[in-house]
Amino acid sequence: MKLRPFAHLLLLPSLLWTSCRSPVDEPGSNLPGKCESESPVIAPQKTDILFVIDNSGSMEEEQNAIATELPAFLEALKEGSGVSQDFRVGVITTSVYRLAMFQGQTTLREYAKESGRLQRVPDAAGNPTDERFIDGTDPYVLEKFRRLVIQGTDGSGQETPFEAVRLAVTEPLVSTPGAENGNAGFLRDGARLLVAVVTDEEDCSTIQRPPPVWVSDDTSIDNCSEQSHLLTPVEEYFATFQQLRDSTGASRQVLWATIGPVALSDKRAELIRDATPDGVFVRNVDCPTSYGPGHRQRAMAEAFGSTRGSTTSIPSAGTTTATPCCASRSWPRWRRASRW
């Protein structure tokens, strides 16, 4: 995964509004005002940012890039060029379960310590602390976040970002105290939620247990895409996220950004099979290091975009699916196959 700068992905210019224009400049205006020499301070808007990090084996070479690029996004928020930002950030992984078929045997593994749970912020020595999210006012927010986004590569090869987010922002985790490995306290009343998914593969989410799709070591198939009708529809997950409310009963605004397997040139999702000396690999067109096409990833981003035409906070967060083109093909991948 060769990560591109995250600032353009999340389209910060509208969050970090720095232009200065006086009404006196408008045609026909008779106002005597003038533009200040410094950017005005805008009333802070509360934003709870949830990063969903792919911690599968294919992400090994991307960990250092993630540690560099994602904190740069927070740094831009923090500095703000005169705009006061009230944010906090937490991290979950794409690991919830893995149903694997290998040598004729099926095994199911569930990732109980992940599965939508906010991951603990490590200290400078890499040991987990009791912190599960970081406030933007923390003087060490960037330093802590650099450590937090490194989630390793021992996670599930059956990436399920949609299911992980659903578990993270709904009951019971949303009201379970951190001391009990829950997410209580992260989502604030009156705050919008920004979800940012970072992955090199298609979403394989379902609310069913065991999942109806299994993975194998056959790199020439990706039934997470080809058998997507077996998974929980993207529309159902989207509806769940649109119905989120805070503790006062107020509707919670949700923004969605994906850094995932779509074409570099036009962000389309299209499956191709790439024959190499090491075998045949499924990937997305114009994304040579992806593993499979991002049909569901793109569909989720488009669903959010279609409901927020007038939103100016992060205007294209819902419609932007940037392409990481992730993973080294030398890594032995678990590929998806239908569970009959």
Percent of the chain with pLDDT over 90: 49
Question: What's the one-letter identity of residue 26?
Answer: E
Over residues 260-271, the pLDDT tens digits come to 877 777 778 888
Is the pLDDT reported for residue 22 higher than 80? Answer: no
Question: What's the one-letter identity of residue 186?
Answer: F
Dihedral sign computed on CA atoms, order 215, 219, 225, 230: negative
Per-residue pLDDT band at 5 (split at 50, 70, 90): very low
Higher pLDDT, 18 or 33: 33
In angstroms, the CA 80 to CA 103 distance is 54
Sheet hosting strand 254-259, strand order edge to edge: 134-135, 86-93, 46-53, 192-198, 254-259, 321-322
Mean pLDDT confidence for 207-227: 89
Quick check: 72 and 6 in contact, CB under 8 A? yes
- What is the pLDDT at residue 195? 95
- What is the pLDDT at residue 63? 66
Mean pLDDT confidence for 23-33: 45
Q: Which residues, listed in sequence order, are joined to residue 100 by a DSSP beta bridge?
A: 107, 215
Percent of the chain with pLDDT over 70: 74
Mean pLDDT confidence for 279-296: 82
Quick check: 168 and 117 in contact, CB under 8 A? yes
Per-residue pLDDT band at 306 (split at 50, 70, 90): low
According to DSSP, residue 251 is labeled: B
Over residues 188-212, the pLDDT tens digits come to 999 999 999 988 889 999 999 999 9
Candidate from 37-51, 145-159, 160-174, 237-251 with smallest mean pLDDT: 37-51
> Looking up tokens 């096409």, which residue turns up?
293
Candidate from 102-111, 178-187, 250-259, 278-287 with smallest mean pLDDT: 278-287
Per-residue pLDDT band at 84 (split at 50, 70, 90): low
Quick check: 134 and 145 in contact, CB under 8 A? yes
Candidate from 157-166, 185-194, 253-262 with smallest mean pLDDT: 253-262
Burial letters 261-299, b for 16+ CB under 10 A, else e: bbbbeebbbebeeeeeeeeebbbbbbbebbbbbbbbbbb
End-to-end CA distance of the chain: 33
- What is the pLDDT at residue 28? 52
Mean pLDDT confidence for 276-281: 87
* Antiparallel, parallel or unpaired: β 192-198 and 46-53: parallel
Is the pLDDT reported for residue 36 higher than 90? Answer: no
In angstroms, the CA 331 to CA 82 distance is 45
List, in order, residues 6 or more apart from 318 with CB less than 8 Å away.
Answer: 255, 256, 257, 301, 302, 303, 304, 305, 306, 307, 308, 311
- What is the pLDDT at residue 81? 55
- Structure tokens, 312: 């100016």
Per-residue pLDDT band at 216 (split at 50, 70, 90): confident
Average pLDDT for the chain: 78
Predicted structure pTM score: 0.81
* Antiparallel, parallel or unpaired: β 46-53 and 86-93: parallel
Per-residue pLDDT band at 45 (split at 50, 70, 90): confident
Angle (deg, nearest 10), helices 63-79 and 141-148: 150
Backbone angles phi, psi at 315, to 5 degrees: -60, -30
181 class by beta-carbon count within 10 Å (0-12 exposed, 13-18 middle, 19+ buried): middle
Higher pLDDT, 135 or 332: 135
- What is the pLDDT at residue 323? 34
3-state class percentages of the chain: helix first, strand second, coil last, to nearest 5: 25, 20, 55
* Antiparallel, parallel or unpaired: β 279-284 and 271-276: antiparallel
Is the pLDDT reported for residue 174 higher than 50? Answer: yes
Per-residue pLDDT band at 182 (split at 50, 70, 90): very high
